[in-house]
A and B are shown apart, each in its own frame.
Chain A
Amino acid sequence: MKLILTGLLAGLLAATAAKADEMAFTSWGGTTQEAQTKSWAAPFEASSGIKVLQDGPTDYGKLKAMVDAGNVTWDVVDVEMDFAIKAAKDGLLEPIDYAVVPKADLDPRFSNEHAVGSFYYSFVLAWNKGTVTGEPTGWADMFDTQKFPGKRTFYKWSAPGVIEIALLADGVPADKLYPLDLDRAFKKLDTIKSDIVWWGGGAESQQLIASGEAAFGQLWNGRVFALQQDGTDVGVAWNQNLTAADVLIVPKGAKNKDSAMKFLAAATSPTGQAKFAEASGYAPINTKAKAEMPADAVKALPDAHVEGQINLDMNYWAEHRDEIATRWYAWQTK
């Protein structure tokens, strides 16, 4: 018994000692986190000697619980921008140390005091070419069930995207989207409510489109990219593609803050961003990254479709999250 105890103690001590050059990175799992591990964590481990433990999926409730309990086991977390803005306001985040993370080449749209861009994506209109005749060109077509019959799939949760799509389809000009006219958006959504199938996660969105269960969908461009790589016959309309970013944050009280900042520097470097963008089809937030990418990989990025591109206003969402969510779920469950 005593022997076992001593052994345990020694093990514990060793674990504590080893922690000094370890850190935990948390993201959404799946192909995205695989790309992050390969493009950021592996080279960072090699160059710094700091081991990067992978965890996930990102869970905002868990993150808040860790900070509240003062026992934070995540050092860098990939989150959505609107969450980062709200979390910073609630005091859940450490400020980014821009003395360690070079800021000069970062796209200013996607970085702030408490968050640095991870990658940016676009919501695009995708369709299954096997079930759809004709070629939809914009969000208005997604609401035109006469011209384009079939089910449409949208993101299930109260998050930036669907409201904007409804307003654009209803004829609101892109520069007049905010403040969001929720009444108008829900009225527009009412017109196709019975034709909507909701997707709750990226894999589900791919499954719905690939199987033809939904003819059209609002998908993350990286998910469409992956479907096309797999040889699925999927069409994409980039017109009015809606961009938003994921960002990397450091939770308040993270145990390995110094390592975390060094990791952020590596992840947002031109090389780290270029490698990730090539693997995922999501765009780099470092403006120097594209120069390091093969030309055809650049073509697959939202960056290649800046014409008609619309930025989702994450500040607006961060501020009106609760109010929009209340309306959203009231409408959805009716």
Chain B
Amino acid sequence: MQGSSFRRSSVAGLPAGSGSAFPALLLVGLFFIVPVVALLLRSVTDPEPGLQNYATLFGSGTYVRVFLNTFLVASVVTAVTILVAYPVAWMLAIMPPAFGSIVFGIIILSMWTNLLTRTYAWMVLLQRTGVINRALMGLGIIHEPLPLINNLAGVTIGMVYIMLPFMILPLVGTLRAIDPMTLRAAALCGASPFEAFRRILLPLSLPGIAAGGLMVFVMSLGYFVTPALLGGTSNMMLAEMIAQTVQSLLNWGLGSAAAFVLLVVTMALYAIQLRLVGARRAGGGL
């Protein structure tokens, strides 16, 4: 991939010698390329050779709707995650290291807690008779329980919570690398804190936002448990639909086709974003 901005955060760089890269290539082939090719083959051979699975996929309003829902949910989740993660990451970046590691520990700990448990916990918190609605009603702020679950709001809250660490970690890395003197210089030149943020901090932290945002978006596209439990059927995501198609209807060809289309779209988005971020970085003249 041409994404120079990602090289820093990528897995330990391989030596340039082509011979020593062979085991890695073999692993990539085994664990990535073979399954994808098998998926593609299945989508055009099951139950019979041809493109009928793709015709069904694009011909049925249901799948198209579920595709669009999936991208809508992933976009909303990514946007909200960035908004929530940014101040947290900034706080972590400027905090004394001793405090920082405690906060880091808390964030990591939440990542290590079982996903299903955390999702069920949100279910209990968010429902009409849950703690949040009861508290708000008890305080007289609302009179009818807010619809926080089985809809887009529920999925967004649950998924943002789960995605936060994946956004915060790359952001902290980028923010820490920014010289605080640049902000002081901006202030000396008369910039208000907001101006300094908009014209200095935000552009400089864009690579971190892009890296985290892409990760969150791509992970959200394939998410299963949380949307299944906190969402409603009108914002059903593709993973759940594929699971039903494969497990219950035993229509593996159609399920494979849906999975393959999602993969292709995801990779296309990835390529576009890399190009955009790469270009902006070049234009920013770092």
A-to-B contact residues, CB < 8 Å: 59-62, 64, 86, 90, 151, 156-158, 197-198, 200, 204, 207, 211-213, 321-322, 325-326, 329-330, 332-334
Contacts and interface: CB of A to CB of B under 8 A. Distances in A.
A212 B233 contact: no
Contacts of B61: 330
Given A61-B246, A198-B233, A329 B129 contact: no
B230 to A, nearest CB: 11
B66 A333 contact: yes
Nearest to B236: A333
B232 interface: yes
Given A60-B247, A198-B150, A200-B228, A334 B65 contact: yes
Interface stretch (B31-39, B163-171, B176-184, B248-256): B248-256
A157 B246 CA distance: 13
Nearest to A332: B233
Contacts of A322: 249, 251
Nearest to A83: B248
B251 to A, nearest CB: 7
Contacts of B233: 156, 198, 332-333
9 contacts: A158-B248, A158-B249, A197-B150, A213-B129, A322-B249, A322-B251, A329-B244, A332-B234, A333-B69
B130 to A, nearest CB: 8
Q: Which 7 pairs show the lowest CB-CB distances between chains A and B?
A: A61-B247, A332-B233, A330-B62, A213-B127, A61-B246, A329-B62, A212-B129
Given A61-B247, A156-B233, A321-B249, A330 B129 contact: no
Interface string B229-265: 1001110100001001011111110000000000000
Contacts of A90: 250
A306 to B, nearest CB: 30
A157 B244 contact: yes
B244 to A, nearest CB: 7
A29 to B, nearest CB: 13
Nearest to A159: B248
B249 A325 contact: yes
B60 interface: yes
B102 to A, nearest CB: 35
B49 to A, nearest CB: 17
A1 to B, nearest CB: 21
Contacts of B66: 333
A90 B47 CA distance: 12
Contacts of B281: none
Contacts of B62: 326, 329-330, 333
Nearest to B243: A61
Given A212-B129, A333-B233, A333-B241, 9 more contacts: A61-B246, A62-B247, A64-B250, A157-B248, A158-B244, A198-B150, A200-B228, A322-B251, A330-B61
A207 B249 CA distance: 27
B128 interface: yes
Contacts of A157: 244, 248
Dominant SS among interface residues on chain B? helix
A98 B207 CA distance: 68
Contacts of B247: 59-62
Contacts of A64: 250, 252
A86 B249 CA distance: 10
A322 B248 CA distance: 10
A321 B62 CA distance: 17
B127 A211 contact: yes
A58 B69 CA distance: 29
Nearest to B120: A207
B11 to A, nearest CB: 30
A332 B61 CA distance: 12
A213 B134 CA distance: 12
B206 to A, nearest CB: 36
A163 to B, nearest CB: 15
Given A156-B233, A333-B69, A213 B128 contact: yes
A24 B247 CA distance: 20
Most buried by A among B61, B127, B150, B250: B250
Contacts of A62: 247
A322 B247 CA distance: 13
Interface string B201-242: 000000000000000000000000000110011101000010
A60 B250 contact: yes
A198 B232 contact: yes
Interface in B116-154: 123-124, 127-129, 150
Contact of B60 (A198, A204, A330, A334): A330
Contacts of A158: 244, 248-249
A332 B250 CA distance: 20
Nearest to A150: B128
A131 to B, nearest CB: 8
A93 to B, nearest CB: 13
A63 to B, nearest CB: 9
Interface centre among A156, A157, A329 (most CB of B within 10 A): A329
A156 B249 CA distance: 14
Nearest to A62: B247
A333 B69 CA distance: 9
